Structure 1
Amino acid sequence: MGASCSRRRDTQAGGDLLRKAGSKKYGKSASWKWLLYPSPRSSSAELNGGDGISPSLMELCARRIRQDIKLYRSFSMLPRDISQLIFNELVESHSLMESSLEAFRDCAIQDILLGECIGVKDSWMETISSQGESLLSLDISGSDVTDDGLNLLGDCVRLQMLSFDDCEQISDCGIRLLSRLSNLTCLSLKRNDGITKEGMKTFADLINLENLDLEKCPRIHGGLIYIKGLTKLVSLNIKCCNRISDEDMKALSGLTNLSKLDLSYNKVTDAGIAYLEGLSKLNTLNLAGCHVTAASLGSISVLTELSCLNLYRCAISDEGCENLAKLVKLKTLNLGFSNITDKCLAHLKGLVLLEDLILDSCKITNEGMVGLKGLLLLKTLDLSDTDVGSAGLHYISGLCHLETLNLGFTLVSDSGMNKLSGIVSLKSLNLDARQITDVGISSLTSLTGLTHLDLFQARVTDFGMSHIRCFKELQSLEVCGGLITDAGVKHIKSLLSLTHLNMSQNSALTDKALQYISGLTGLVSLNLSGTRVTNAGLRHLKPLKLLRSLHLDASGVSVTEMKKLQLAALPNLISIRPG
């Protein structure tokens, strides 16, 4: 049966180590963890595989075993792949407990990913360690495992991937175990206060390490010297480690295989960036929040393989920005909250491969926009909180690949909206500007490919809402703090693709608005805070079976009635905020 039942270990580098795509962690509280879980599968969903595809016979057997797990004492006599399949079923259905874990002792399981399980502690580690040399990947993030528990892994010498993010009771003492795990290729220990420079000495033995994540480990200053010999490192994340400085950068100068480096929100300056000049394979560099200036752009410009550069909230100004023109392979550039002006934009016109450009809160005007007109591959452009106005939009009207455009808090007015009529492939638009009106909305009706529309604090009335019904592909709509009445909500009832709807702070909305919304059965999130919705109107929400988040703060709805609705009709609802 091969490894078909095991999770792939070679597809995790793009996200958090050993995490399933899209999963997030909000803390160690059990109540928070359960909020993030998908709804329990119904019997019909189980029979249909949850996606309309019939499950295999083995999958059906695994589900039945999960239901009767108390009847089984050991799976050690089963083939490894079958044990793995049963184990995965217990984990994914959030049914794995310490008592059921014991049945997997000595099963030679390869992948044990418990990053979202509740109650994981040292006593679990005995069964985990019994997998011995078969164990290849382990995630115990957010658990209560201590140094003692981690040290039980000494016999799992073939372990390739190990993640123990948010494990508050693991310190330098536990880290010493890693010296016996020289086959590790991926290691993640985010948000750990117990690991210091002394503990990092062990890292020198991890000669096969390719991915290392030390995000928010505040006490590792001075310890990077112990990774200077890890020449196979491809990805290194030391974001928000606070005291990482220029001196620490010396240790990185020899890591010539690095393709991804995250140094954001540390004390690195221009002098430290100079140590990176030899990293010729660097593809992604994140310096957000670092104390670097435009002087560092000279060192960065020799990194000609860069496709992603983040200089958000750096002290970048126009001087030295001519070096950006040398980074001709850039696809993503973030200059948000910097001191650049129109002069800098002139140096960007040759970056014809750019797909994402962030200029949020920069000192740019209409005149600078001419530098962007040739960036024909742009998909995302953020101009929020700049001095760009209606005239400036003329220069981007030919960017036919734009999907996301943020004009929040700009000087764009109704007349400027006409300039956007040529951007026919636009999929996302943020118009939380103070000068967008109904006339502007009417000029957007040619953008029928929109999937996300944000009109935060825009002066949109019911007349403007009549044009929004043209956007049949909309998945997310936000019209907050406006002048919308029930009559305006009527215009969105045909937007059946909507999954997220936020119409908070429209104080004229009543229970009639809920009646119009009742047909939007794909809604996952609904926010009608600050409206006149009452308990009586809640009955209209019963058809919204997929709803997971419902916010009705400062409305006429009570806690009791919302809970009744949740129990009686909305089984997937996990986040509620009543009036």
Structure 2
Amino acid sequence: MEDLPGAALAEIMKRITRTSDLSSLSLVSKRLYTIDAEHRSTIRVGRGLWPAKEALLTLCSRFSNLRKVEINYHDWTRGDGNQIDNQGLLTLSTCCPLLTDLILSFCYYIDDSGLAYLTDCKKLVSLRLNSAKNIASSGLLVVAVGCKNLSGLHLINCNKISGNPEWLKYLGSDGSLEELVVKNCGGISQYDLLLFGPGWMKLQRFVFEVSNLYNILRLRDPSFVANYQHSYNFCCESLKDLRLRGIATVEEIGLCSLLGKCKSLQILCLHFVLGLTDSDMITLSQNCRNLKSISLQLEPVVGVGPQGRVFRMPLTDVSLKALALGCRMLQIVELAVYSRHTSYPEIGFSQEGLATLFQSCPIRELVLCGANIFDDEVMKALSSAQFLETLKLMDCKRITDAGMRLLANSSSLVNLTLQDCHGFTDDGVSEVVRARNLDSLIVQGCRVSWKAVKGAAKSVRYDRNCPGYGRLNTRPWPDGRRCEAMEVPREEEAGGGDRVIRWLAAIGDLAYSSTQEALDLRGGRLSLGVEGMAWWSGDGRYAGWLCGVLMGNRWRKPCQAMGRHDDGDAIWRRSPPWRRRPGVDPS
């Protein structure tokens, strides 16, 4: 080792990715210690850094050529000691002149004053703020003005950023930003982002996600002028990656207006966009000829047809045929439908529309999830996709063994994933396995045995349960409403002890992963509301209220236990006084 030149040793150490291995190797000799100090370009610190201020100063003094620093205090508690504060950012700006990439996650002791120190980081290119609850708009404005080379900005769960959007206007006028990600920032609306102005010209990746519920009454853009052709007069011809989630739009008001302006678009994700129509997809197909990947996650809307209530898809075959005609380079497609009601007929995509898309575009990866429209007829259309290499079927309960036999005719299929599909059995899967030489096979939560998939591919993953999915069935309640019921692990008596904790933990897990109106439990039902959950006995009588710990509310206390529900008194006494309103259904 001593005979090797320094450049060779440095190259060896660059190829070691695990920080623990790199730290151990640097302790072998003084020469390796010095080389590691000179060439270490990335560090990640968090709860283990104590005392925080002195330890960070030591690290920055040793590794003087740091280019990327991540400070992450996820799951931090006060017992872990103090976090890195504003003085820590002063240390970074002083000791790390080459810093280009900074990530701050769950840093509660850093505010706008700390961000002001970043203006001394003249080479800062990327800034990511995750759950930085003390960062406001004024701090972002200081960064926008002082960091001239900033090209990437990520804002995630930063709810204090609201009000004055001057930072956004300044970044737009400067025109240097190439990547902008905004997720779950309650104070930033889609209309604020439209103030980005000239910045859209250079932007290459844009992500905007909203976590709260749709509110059609809030669709009021102050800058929109009806019947004015150039209401949103900006250009985004450099945009290649566009991802929108949870927004609402009507008559081209809002961010959906971007679909007609992105001529270089290659990746598009539209997840639960309220107001999305076939006309939007036609506009997309006419302007985005280079589109290679599209992900559509949709929720059916209720309509009235000749046979009563009908669930209609926001998009139909018109959208699929428009994509087939205008986006001939499309290779990755995801079509996901999430609905709480699975027994009603649906109007939307059909075999004809899917077959047109598969035959016109060289689709190599396909994801189909949920809804009644994905059945054996769709599998027949899949068999005509000559370029299809990777297929993922999730919650497609109407696909049977006959459909799987049709899939065996897919000539290029090498990767297959089946999750929570209960319509086919070992016979259908075995037919595909025998016909195709699979590289990867994943089967989770299906009515398929391990014997049918064992040795069926080079890589096989099997699980009797599917992560993230419950066992759903639909049943009517006496009041005539329909609701989803999820089976819960049964406990004999919830009189106290560990069984109560396990029982409540199971309910909490279901509540976090469910969007249902009520859960069907032994002896009654559990209603899910905005502020928490309420237990209703089998005769419809209100019994008690659970909130706080289970639902994440900040200051309200939960029930201490779930006792017998003979007359409701056992739970009633433990319910907060402000919630003792038996006449109100909290769901």
Please, what TM-score do these two structures have when normalized by structure 2? Answer: 0.59
Structure 1 match to 2:403:
440
1:362 aligns with 2:326: no
Q: Which moved more, 1:200-209 or 1:125-134?
A: 125-134
In structure 2, what is the Cα distance between the partners aligned to 1:115 and 1:453? 37
Separation (CA, whole Å) in 1 of partners of 2:279 and 2:368: 26
Shift of the alpha carbon at 1:411?
Answer: 3.2
1:145 equivalent to 2:84? Answer yes
Residue identity in the other structure for 1:113? I
Q: Is the CA contact (8 Å cut-off) linking 2:454 and 2:460 kept in structure 1? A: no
Structure 2 distance, partners of 1:332, 1:270, is 30
- 1:207 matched to 2:166? The reply is no
Match of 2:186 in 1: 242
Q: Deviations over 1:539-578 (max 9, x none)?
A: xxxxxxxxxxxxxxxxxxxxxxxxxxxxxxxxxxxxxxxx
Q: Secondary structure at the match of 2:297?
A: coil
Structure-to-structure mapping, 1:261-340, within 5 angstroms: 261-265=206-210, 277-296=234-253, 297-298=256-257, 300-314=259-273, 315-318=275-278, 322-324=282-284, 325-337=286-298
Q: Distance in 1 between matches of 2:195 and 2:380?
A: 54
Structure 1 counterpart of 2:110: 170
Partners of 2:312 and 2:287 in 1: CA distance: 24
In 1, the alpha carbon distance for the partners of 2:319 and 2:84 equals 55
In structure 2, stretches of 5+ residues that fail to align are: 1-5, 75-82, 212-217, 225-230, 303-310, 338-345, 467-487, 490-587
Whole-Å separation in 1 of the counterparts to 2:33 and 2:232: 49
Whole-Å Cα distance in 2 between the matches of residues 115 and 276 of structure 1?
A: 44
- Are the structure 2 counterparts of residues 259 and 171 from structure 1 closer, same or farther at C-alpha, using a change threshold of 3 Å? same
Query: Does the 8 Å CA contact 1:239/1:264 hold for their aligned counterparts?
Result: yes
Identify which of 49, 59, 69 aligns with 1:128: 59
Against the structure 1 CA distance between its residues 279 and 430, is the aligned structure 2 distance closer, same or farther, given a 3 Å change threshold? Answer: same
User: Could you say what secondary structure the match of 1:134 adopts?
Assistant: coil
Instruction: Give the match for residue 471 of structure 2.
Output: none
CA 1:369–1:244: 2 relative to 1, 3 Å: closer
How far residue 263 of structure 1 moved from its aligned partner, in angstroms, is 2.7
Pair 1:187-2:118 in alignment: no
Distance 1:299 1:65 in 2: 51
Q: Distance in 2 between matches of 1:411 and 1:290?
A: 25
Distance in 2 (CA, whole Å) between partners of 1:370 and 1:275 is: 28
**Could you give the per-residue CA deviations for residues 332-352 of structure 1, whole angstroms, max 9, x where no partner exists?**
3444327899xxxxxxxxxxx
SS in 2 for 1:336: strand
2:438 to 447, 452, 473: 473
Q: Distance between the aligned counterparts of 1:247 and 1:407, measured in 2?
A: 31
8 Å CA contact 1:253–1:279 kept in 2: the answer is no
Report SS of the residue matched to 2:402: helix
What CA distance in whole angstroms lies between the structure 2 residues aligned with 1:134 and 1:186? 17
Structure 1 runs not aligned, ≥5 long:
9-19, 21-36, 42-58, 87-106, 342-359, 506-528, 531-579
Q: Spell out, residue by residue over 1:106-128, the C-alpha distance to the aligned partner (whole angstroms, 9 max, x if none).
A: x4555132158844632321112
In the alignment, the residues of structure 2 paired with residue 290 and residue 84 of structure 1 have an alpha-carbon distance, to the nearest angstrom, of: 52
Normalised TM-score (structure 1): 0.60
Question: How big is the shift at 1:244?
Answer: 0.8
Within a 5 Å distance, the mapping from 1:480-559 to structure 2 comes to: 480-482=445-447, 484=448, 488-504=449-465
The aligned residue for residue 254 of structure 1 is 198
Query: Hey, what's the Cα distance between the residues in 2 that align with 1:278 and 1:371?
Result: 23
1:401 to 360, 363, 386: 363
**Which letter maps to 1:323?**
T
Cα distance in 2 for residues equivalent to 1:299 and 1:334: 16
- Answer yes or no: is the 8 Å Cα contact 1:245–1:272 preserved in 2: no
Number of the residue aligned with 2:479: none
Alignment match of 1:218 (pick from 159, 178, 188): 159
Q: Give secondary structure in 1 for the equivalent of 2:383.
A: helix
The letter for the 2-side match of 1:433 is C
- Code of the residue aligned with 1:478 in structure 2: it is V
**Matched-pair contact (CA < 8 Å) for 1:404–1:429:** yes
Distance 1:181 1:452, change over 3 A: same
In 1, the alpha carbon distance for the partners of 2:353 and 2:258 equals: 32
Change (3 A) 1:423 1:167: same
User: Cα gap change, 1:328/1:207 in structure 2, threshold over 3 Å: closer, same or farther?
Assistant: same
Whichever structure has more strand as a proportion of its residues is: 2
Amino acid across the alignment from 1:146: D
Change (3 A) 1:122 1:468: farther
Residues 468 and 492 in structure 1, CA contact (< 8 A), matched pair in contact too: no
The answer for the alignment partner of 1:453 in structure 2 is 417
Moved more, 465-474 or 188-197: 465-474
Tell whether the 8 Å contact from 2:281 to 2:319 is kept in structure 1 after alignment.
Answer: no
Separation (CA, whole Å) in 2 of partners of 1:168 and 1:276: 39
Matched AA of 1:234: E
Residues 292-337 of structure 1 show CA distances to partners (whole Å, capped at 9, x for unaligned) of 2341455642343333343322222345554322233333344432
- Structure 1 residue 393, shift from structure 2 partner: 4.6
Task: Give the CA deviation at 1:439.
Answer: 1.9
Following the alignment from structure 1 to structure 2, what is the Cα–Cα distance between the partners of residues 416 and 245? 38
Do the aligned partners of residues 408 and 425 (structure 1) sit closer, same or farther apart at CA in structure 2, a change above 3 Å counting? farther
Gap change, CA 1:383 and 1:232, over 3 Å in 2 = closer
The 1:435–1:132 alpha-carbon spacing in structure 2 relative to 1, beyond 3 Å, is closer
Change (3 A) 1:193 1:447: same
Residue 155 of structure 1 and its aligned partner are, at CA, apart by 1.9
1:392 and 1:456, CA in 2 relative to 1: closer, same or farther beyond 3 A? Answer: farther
**Cα distance between partner residues in 1 of 2:376 and 2:457:** 28
Tell me the CA shift for residue 195 of structure 1. Answer: 0.7
1:112 aligns with 2:42: yes
Alpha-carbon offset, residue 205 of structure 1: 0.7
Q: CA deviation at 1:193?
A: 0.6
Contact 1:122 1:148 in 2 (8 A): yes
Equivalent-residue separation in structure 1 for 2:47 and 2:13 (angstroms): 18
> 1:379 and 2:340 equivalent?
no
Identity %: 19
Aligned residues: 407
